[in-house]
Structure 1
Amino acid sequence: MVFIISRAIYLLSVLSAISVISCGGGKKVPDSLPPESRIESAQEIKEFNSRLITQSSGAPASPADYLIGPADLLEVKVFESEKLTSTVRVSSRGQITLPLLGSVDVNALTAREAEEKIENLLKSDGYINNPHVGVFVKEHKSKLVSVVGFVREPGSYELLGRQTLLDSLAAAKGLKDNAGRTVYLTRAEGNGRREAYVVDLDELLLKGNSEINVVLKPGDVVYVPETGTVFVEGAVRKPGSFPMKERSTTVTHSIAMAGGLTTYANGGDVKLVRHMGNGKREITGLDLEKIQKGEAEDPIVKDGDAVIVGASIAKRFIYGLRLNFLLGLVGVGYDPPERYQQ
């Protein structure tokens, strides 16, 4: 099962992504599992990694399908004239500057389509009667996904074609023995929103629910936390994944580890999301004020739980929270108040 959270978080690099969604303050998850449990966990991860190989697409995408985008480095060869050959970086607007032609828009073109466009421009402008152009992508900067956390080979990987969450985990050589059973995927949308997908690996790999095998987009960050963590999102100061202790860490403790509430948080609108097995998740509404007054229970969190804190209208911010149940996705999303600041 997957649930989706939207939030305006801006990741400047893979390192900042780790600081946003990894365990806060560099804290290490306590090794409280008995030896036999750690052995069982390692065996389960071995099974997960085996299924990764069989369930991922396996076949590498063809570079010919790659769509050129901003920050890519291109080598443009004009075989009839060495002077017209150049190495250029694609601008933020998807354009390159070439001798004689000036600015040429190559955004979202394949290398072959860019070749044809440049050939037509050279011919129509009367520079070369029958030009032959080669375009080679030397650096695929615009189509990268980052895989971080407890995987065997974390790093940035080129997104050359249609690839999924499982493909990214397979590219990172699978999970480490102490990896958790939940994967977080964060994505920046063009409208300023931020989406966070929380994917249950048991449901995806062991039960084969392909509907939650999210198709990746450029800029996605896939984070695999260590086992024994709780995920805190929404109107908190340091959203992310934090270590928890079995039978002792509560919802309020989890929010405290995330730096506490923001100035626009709505303590009466807190959601505790828990995987219940069989592809189901339980979503419990909580009121922090009632918990603090002793009028309501402060639930103990479990490994893989998610705590989502809502926000209120404040400082002329507009806020909306919604729950959607569509196509096997449990969605918890909001437009961040920062979008409406005047």
Structure 2
Amino acid sequence: MQIIHENEYEETMKNTVEPYLSARRRELYVPGADYPFRNENKRITGKIHMLQYLSDAPKGVVVISHGFTESAAKYDEVAYYFLKEGYHVYIPEHCGHGRSYRLTADPSLVHIDTWRRYIRDFLKACRYIKKAHPELPLDLFAHSMGGAIGGIAAAWEPDWFHKVILSSPMIRPLTDNVPWPAATGIALEKCILGKDEEYVAGRKPYDGSGSFETSTATSKPRYERYKNLRAEHKELQTWSPSYGWLWASAEMSWYLRLYGWKKYTAPMLLIQAQTEDLVSVRALKNFAGKINRQGKTSCDYIHMIGTKHEIYGSRGKILEKYWGYMLAFLDDEENDTDRR
């Protein structure tokens, strides 16, 4: 595969990648899942915004589960590479992100009322995808928060997914300088007191700040491209978590670490960044280890040298290795689900 290098990034994205994607892109809105909650306030449903890219010669389908505060637009380059390798690509935007429905009017705030909403919505999108392409295997590529959502979805419906790639997945989030038990305790207290839509302490609305040096990417052109897109489009300006989101992230973490790992049947590839400030590396290693010890399926574990949390936003030489690992995993017939 030919990776786009930094010295040609801006020009190639503008003149090659964007026209290529535009010719194969379709915008979809899929109804969100229904929620049988007793609390009427939690019966809110809306439409999931999803981008569809159709390959010229498909051999499979990849559904992308994006991370916290991200959107489908951030995955243009990722979608391009998968398309060139013969995969249809679908990118549903999670509730509260991009053009999908939201539970709060504040465009900067990422808020959710229950973690199950993320999973049910994502599976609703996957059901649409599987129905559209019943003859093709469905693979999952999931990053960070999307790794928690996609990881639980693959645990709930293990037979739906042919192979699973988790890139810096949020098996357990890191909570800055606040110990994990204290952070989750504060989040629960806020939710009980009806303050679940408040910003987590120390977080603020989007103001256009942020720098490459403090970011979780290692390629400046890639970082700058999405920073500029975000500044131009209000729907991309999700920025900070609510206490409701923090509590939901804790519940997703507990589910994955206590129950989810037992349910997988699809081969899994888990890729860890070298410099990781957002998710617990110890939790990643324990998660992969438990899957492998159980023996129902395999979880290949790769430590990517020279990377930060957003491994897909790395420099060209590192991306060549990253994509080499992922494509070899997807193409390996020996670890196909059907052969296990």
Confirm or deny a common fold (TM above 0.5). no
TM-score bracket relative to the smaller structure:
under 0.3
Q: Per residue, is there more strand in 1 or in 2?
A: 1
Structure with the greater relative contact order (CA < 8 A, sep ≥ 6): 1 or 2? 1
TM-score, normalization by structure 1 = 0.27
TM-score, normalization by structure 2 = 0.27
Larger Rg over CA atoms: 1
Q: Per residue, is there more helix in 1 or in 2?
A: 2
